[in-house]
Structure 1
Amino acid sequence: MNQPEVKLGEAIQFSADLQEIFVTDAGAVYQCDKQNRLLVNFAGSVAKLKVETFLRLKKAVDSIDLSTMAVNTGRCSDYELITVFGCEKLYVLTLPEIYSFKELLGGAKFVLQLNSMLHERLFAQPA
């Protein structure tokens, strides 16, 4: 199976350098070991992030209270602006998009943690 290669501002092309981490109907997260980056493909664009920036983005998205946003009748609550230090992308998302983004980022973080735990167990040095 071909793996996508992502260049910001261009369409996704395929390369062996990327590994698929997590995919939903709304987007995908890929890992590039060559550049030590995660590529988040969501809302029609791709963000190339360091792992620390990815975790900050997830924390920012998780801090949005969806139930408060849903019951607020003001026009200012129709959208949420999301950006974090180290990410060149500014996300302007609606309530359903934020829900989908939370799902994507949460699934990707889970898979990254699982991979890390498996790697520790499989390659642990005996004491």
Structure 2
Amino acid sequence: MIAAIAKPGEKRSAATELVEIYANEAGAVYQCDRKNRLMLYFAGTFNVLKVDTFLRLKQAVASIDLEQMAANPSRSSDFEIVSVCGCERCFMLSLTELYALRDLLAGAKFSLELNRMLHECLTPLEA
């Protein structure tokens, strides 16, 4: 768990706590319950994403054909530009970076889905 630093004049207890959802060697995804956001740490930068933006980014990265990209000898196929609505950042990624980001996003989505299913199973039904 990471505790974000409080801003000047802000009480320490108001600092946002981030829970790591999933991490690999390329980065990590954190969850902020206070702001209902996910934070993607990738390529040395933090990107704050709403859940629907995170899902759109995961879908956009998953839809890229990495095998075709690797097999294409053209220099224009060395990089892919990924941009989704709701995300301030435009990602320009190499094949290696795409593979790492795909793994990071898929692992985070799996962890979120597993947590949701466990919460449903363990929460008693309301009458």
TM-score band w.r.t. shorter chain? 0.7 to 0.9
Which position in structure 2 is the counterpart of 1:93? 93
Runs of 4+ in structure 1 deviating by more than 2 angstroms, as ranges, are none
Q: Partner letter of residue 85 of structure 1? A: C
CA–CA separation in structure 1 for the residues paired with 2:71 and 2:18 = 40
Aligned residue for 2:64, secondary structure, equals coil
Q: How far apart are 1:88 and its partner, in Å?
A: 0.3
SS in 1 for 2:46: strand
Please give the root-mean-square deviation of Cα atoms over the aligned residues, in Å. Answer: 1.5
TM-score (norm 1): 0.88
1:49 is matched with which residue? 49
Residue 5, structure 1, aligned to residue 11, structure 2? no
Runs of 5+ unmatched residues, structure 1 = 7-14
**Cα deviation, residue 16, structure 1:** 5.7
Residues 45-65 of structure 1, C-alpha deviation per residue, up to 9 Å, x if partnerless? 111000000000000000000
Q: Which residue of 1 aligns with 2:117?
A: 117
Greater mean deviation of Cα atoms: 116-125 or 26-35: 116-125
Number of aligned residue pairs: give it: 118
Q: TM-score by structure 2 length?
A: 0.88
Larger Rg: 2
**Structure 2 segments unaligned to the other structure (5+ residues):** 6-14
Q: Which residue of 1 aligns with 2:75?
A: 75
Structure 2 distance, partners of 1:35, 1:59, is: 23
Give 1:5 shift: 2.8
Cα shift at 1:124 = 3.0
Equivalent position of 2:37 in the other structure: 37
Partner of residue 11, structure 1: none
* 2:56 alignment partner, SS class: helix
